[in-house]
Chain A
């Protein structure tokens, strides 16, 4: 999993039917020092997060597992809200 900050959300009316009712959040990946690293991406949301929150997200096929038995076509999903990061470097 990877750290990120929620920058906003995306609204799409016409989309894959299996994405129906999914929140699509814009996420800026962060490094362990919480400094932005890399490019923003769109994540589905399995916990219910809001803009500005520091979160962690899962990549790959595993991203669709929180929504089982629905088969949601996603490659990144927010799986937790981060309270604290203790990193030495």
Chain B
């Protein structure tokens, strides 16, 4: 799992049936210090996240499909949760 920051939303009308009814968010993976980590991805939202939120992100098929509840679907990234706090010791 990764930490991500929701930087936007994507609207698509014509898309695979398994994506219908789920918000598609643009998420920038980030490091612990908040700096960008690689390229932004489009993730389906299973946690009701909004733009600006820091979220828990998966970029792997099985976990993404399971989170979204659509098995055997072309889904390779999903938002699993909204992060409230990160504690570092």
A binding-site residues for B, Cβ under 8 Å? 1-3, 31-32, 37-38, 46-48, 56, 58-63, 65-66, 68, 77, 79-89
What is the total number of residues of chain B having a CB less than 8 Å from a CB of chain A?
A: 30
B16 touches A79 (CB 8 A): yes
Q: Find residues 4-24 in chain B having any chain A CB closer than 8 Å to their own CB.
A: 7-16, 19, 24
B binding-site residues for A, Cβ under 8 Å? 7-16, 19, 24, 26, 39-43, 51-52, 60-61, 64-65, 72-77
A31 touches B40 (CB 8 A): yes
A46 touches B74 (CB 8 A): yes
* Chain A interface helix/strand/loop/mixed: mixed
- Which of A63, A80, A88 makes the CB contact (< 8 A) with B51? A88
**B14, B65, B77 — which one has the most chain A CB atoms within 10 A of its CB?**
B14
Task: Chain A residues near B64: list those with CB within 8 A.
Answer: 62
The answer for the CA separation of A88 and B15 in the assembled complex, in Å, is 23
A34 CB to nearest B CB, Å:
11
